[in-house]
Amino acid sequence: MLRPDYPKAGVDKLEFFKQKFGGEAPAKQFFTRIVDAAKEEGIHYAPLDGLKTGNTSDAHRLMLWARSLGKEDEVLTEMYKAYNCDGKWVGDHDVLLDAAAKAGLDPDEAKALLEDQEKFKQELDESLGRSAKLGVSGVPAFFINGQNAGSGAQPAEFFVQAFQQIAKM
């Protein structure tokens, strides 16, 4: 989770990108690269207008619970679809409950988890602390031989070069 200090209701992603990248044009250019890369892989990406970003602690707690039940991959896939393809905010409990149900988890248990802010909070806090120590500033984050190799979507050439450098050592 990159923005635990943001509101759980989320903030407008375009506004966030405008601040991060110095204006609307660079923000949209950055997002267009993401959409184009997804399109090359046959993935429909939701348009930027209306997307949110923010505190996703409830989604992360749901993932920790799903991991304990052996359903992490399924829930993560459903959350990615909801957010990236359908443009739904994964801070919204209805979106999270839908993802849990589609992944085969009990909706009543998922709802109870989301309503109890203490469930999996310690595990989430430990995970956030570990990420901070590692210097994670974007997702996905890549580590090679224990060293932070960067973050964000990377082309295959990035990894080829990184592994070639390691091979020379």
pLDDT score of 151: 84
For residues 124 and 60, the answer to whether their CB atoms sit within 8 Å is yes
Q: Which residues contact 137 (CB under 8 A, 6 or more apart)?
A: 2, 151
Is the pLDDT assigned to residue 131 strictly greater than 80?
yes
Tell me the CATH number of domain 11-134, given options 1.20.272.10, 3.40.30.10, 3.40.50.450, 3.30.365.10. 3.40.30.10
- Residue 49 to residue 51: CA distance in whole angstroms: 6
Burial class (CB in 10 A: 0-12, 13-18, 19+), 72: middle
Predicted model pTM:
0.87
Name the one residue in this structure whose structure tokens are 């009990």.
106
Is the pLDDT assigned to residue 18 strictly greater than 90?
yes
Where do the CATH 3.40.30.10 domains begin and end in the chain? 11-134
pLDDT score of 137: 84
State whether residue 125 is helix, strand or coil: helix
Burial class (CB in 10 A: 0-12, 13-18, 19+), 76: middle
- Per-residue pLDDT of 45-83, as tens digits, reads 998 889 999 999 999 999 999 999 999 999 999 999 999
Structure tokens that stand for 144 in this block: 């090679």
When pLDDT is cut at 50, 70 and 90, the band that residue 169 belongs to is confident
Range name among 3-17, 38-52, 148-162 with the lowest pLDDT average: 148-162
When pLDDT is cut at 50, 70 and 90, the band that residue 44 belongs to is very high
Is the pLDDT assigned to residue 38 strictly greater than 90?
no
- Residue 158 to residue 69: CA distance in whole angstroms: 35
pLDDT score of 16: 93
